[in-house]
Every structure is written in C-alpha cells, then in structure tokens.
Amino acid sequence: GENVEQHPSTLSVQEGDSAVIKCTYSDSASNYFPWYKQELGKRPQLIIDIRSNVGEKKDQRIAVTLNKTAKHFSLHITETQPEDSAVYFCAASMSSGGYNKLIFGAGTRLAVHP
Amino acid sequence: DVKVTQSSRYLVKRTGEKVFLECVQDMDHENMFWYRQDPGLGLRLIYFSYDVKMKEKGDIPEGYSVSREKKERFSLILESASTNQTSMYLCASSLFAGDSNQPQHFGDGTRLSIL
C-alpha cells in the first residue's frame, strides 16, 4: 500500500555537527515532498519542500535532496544548534480518487546537545 | 500569516459520547484536513475537504465523520467515542482546491482523551 518510511526514528548529535534524515516512498507518481518540524507542544511547521522536477534545494542550513529513481529523499541540517531539537516529519504526495493527499513518515526525534 | 485555530487544546470525554472537534482557518483556503498523530505512527489522514459540503475519506476514516458547512470551518465528529480514539488531533488547511502539492498549515492540535 501507500507508505513513507522514515529513518532513523531518533537521532542525537553534538552542536555543530550535521544531521541527516532519510525517507523512502512507494508511489512513483509522487511529485511533492515537504518536510515539517514540530517542536515540543507546538504545531508542525513547514521548513522546506521540493518538487519532482528538482534534485536538490537549499535554504540556509537546511537542504533536501531527491532521488526519483530510487524513490528516496533526505533532509540535511548543517551546523546544528540546540534550537534544531524537534521531531521532523517527511511527507510525499500521493493520488487518491482523483485528488492528491500527503502521506507522512513516522517522524524522527532529533536531539542536539550543547 | 495563516491562522488555523482548533477550539480546544485538551478534551476529556467518556466512551460512547458524541464528540465534536472544531477547526477554523482565516485565509480563505479551499482545502482542509483532519489528521491524528500517535507516537511512532506519524500523522495519519482521517478526512479532507476541498470545498463546502464536500468531503473525502482519508486513510483511517472508520469511527469518524466530518462537516464543512462553511468554507472556513471544518468539524470532526466522533460518532460514539471509544478508548482507541484517544490521540492528538491536528487540523490543517491549504490554498488550492484538489491539490495537495502545496504547503499545509496546521493548528495547535487537540489532545483528546476518551475514558
């Protein structure tokens, strides 16, 4: 069935290190891939997204790469800071009855230690 | 800035009760969504709506229904609450009808406990 697998489920890094979160998806027709950050007790917020006609997108310390052939995409955070600590969700668009919907991964809890 | 407001942050109800969760957005968005969030399962889509009085089932619609009488308001209804519906419920909206290939804006969530 439709699914998005996300790894790792938890990630612990030292401040200043890089963090990478990986997702794979099942629907080869997926063409939109957003990433959301959810801080403790707060709403998920979009941090970056990528469409299938682009292989990589960067916004300051965060970047996303997409490999459509392998059906996987990744979030890269460089120079991590304690305020990057949160749960991160990837998602992929999938068709459903003539409409598109988002399928979310299970989430990655990132802890950045000072 | 888009504002998605959910009526309650915390709610406690009893098994068998009919429960209403309300969501309002103020940016004239066409699409509205209801998700539930459980540890280790991410966000799972319950129902969505692309227009007033229109609804589509998501991935886990059993035990739920929805209502969209006005464009800005999308209600989630638990017809007869059960303990396995204890969860965090998130409402979201996005701009263009019929297309999820765009950012979704989330509310703060309602943590619902069914006793």
The 3-state secondary structure of chain B, one letter per residue? CCCEEECCCEEEECCCCCEEEEEEECCCCCEEEEEEEECCCEEEEEEEECCCCCCEECCCCCCEEEEEEECCEEEEEECCCCHHHCEEEEEEEECCCCCCCCCCEECCCEEEEEC
* Least Cα separation, residue B62 to chain A (angstroms): 17
Contact A32 B56 (CB under 8 A): no
Residue B62 has pLDDT above 90, yes or no: yes
Closest approach of B66 to chain A, Cα-based (Å): 17
Whether residue B111 lies within 8 A of chain A, CB to CB, comes out as no
Mean pLDDT within B36-51: 93
The confidence band for A54, taking pLDDT boundaries of 50, 70 and 90, is confident
Please name which of A82, A61, A63, A84 lies closest in space to residue A73, comparing C-alpha atoms.
A63
Least confident span in A83-92, B37-46, B72-81, B99-108: B99-108
Residue A95 pLDDT: 78
Q: A104: which chain B residues are within 8 Å (Cβ-Cβ)?
A: 35, 42-44
Q: Hey, what are B88's tokens?
A: 């965090």
Angle at the Cα of A34 (from A56 to B93), degrees rounded to 5?
150
Burial of A38 (0-12, 13-18, 19+ CB in 10 A): buried
Residue B100 has pLDDT above 70, yes or no: no
What percent of chain B is predicted at pLDDT more than 70?
A: 95
CA contacts within 13 A on the Cβ side of A19 = 29
Nearest to A43 among B59, B101, B109 (CB): B109
Q: Kindly tell me if the per-residue pLDDT of B99 is higher than 80.
A: no
Mean of pLDDT values over B63-76: 96
Neighbours of A53 (CB within 10 A): 8
Choose the closest CB to B42 out of A32, A89, A93.
Answer: A89
The pair phi, psi for residue A83, each rounded to 5°, is: -75, -5
